């Protein structure tokens, strides 16, 4: 449901979840009246990237611990 929250709250949603670059992009696009349309499409890729980075860190940590 991240797309719904991104649609409703736009740059605030991204800033609260530490996606600062996306928050800035949506904020600028809101002045052009298209930010609220773009925000839902930016939410899923942001969470996917964050999850992949966290998984890579955990895999690296697991490899270090197993040695």
- Alpha-carbon gap, residue 54 to 18, rounded angstroms: 14
Supply the pLDDT for residue 7: 76
Per-residue pLDDT of 22-35, as tens digits, reads 888 888 887 887 77
Per-residue pLDDT of 1-47, as tens digits, reads 777 767 777 888 888 888 898 888 888 887 887 777 788 888 888 88
- Alpha-carbon gap, residue 12 to 19, rounded angstroms: 10
Supply the pLDDT for residue 52: 94
Supply the pLDDT for residue 57: 93
Q: Taking 90 as the threshold, does the pLDDT of residue 56 lie above it?
A: yes
- Segment (H or E) for 36: helix 35-66
Task: List the one residue out of 50, 8, 42 whose CA is nearest residue 23.
Answer: 42
Residue positions counted in the chain: 67
Domain boundaries, the chain: 2-66
């Amino acid at each position: 449901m991240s797309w719904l929250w991104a649609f409703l709250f736009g740059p605030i949603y991204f800033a609260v979840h530490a996606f600062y670059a996306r928050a800035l992009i949506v904020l600028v696009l809101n002045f052009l009246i298209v930010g609220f349309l773009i925000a839902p499409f930016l939410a899923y890729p942001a969470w996917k990237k964050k999850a992949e980075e966290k998984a890579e860190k955990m895999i690296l940590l697991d490899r270090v611990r197993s040695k």
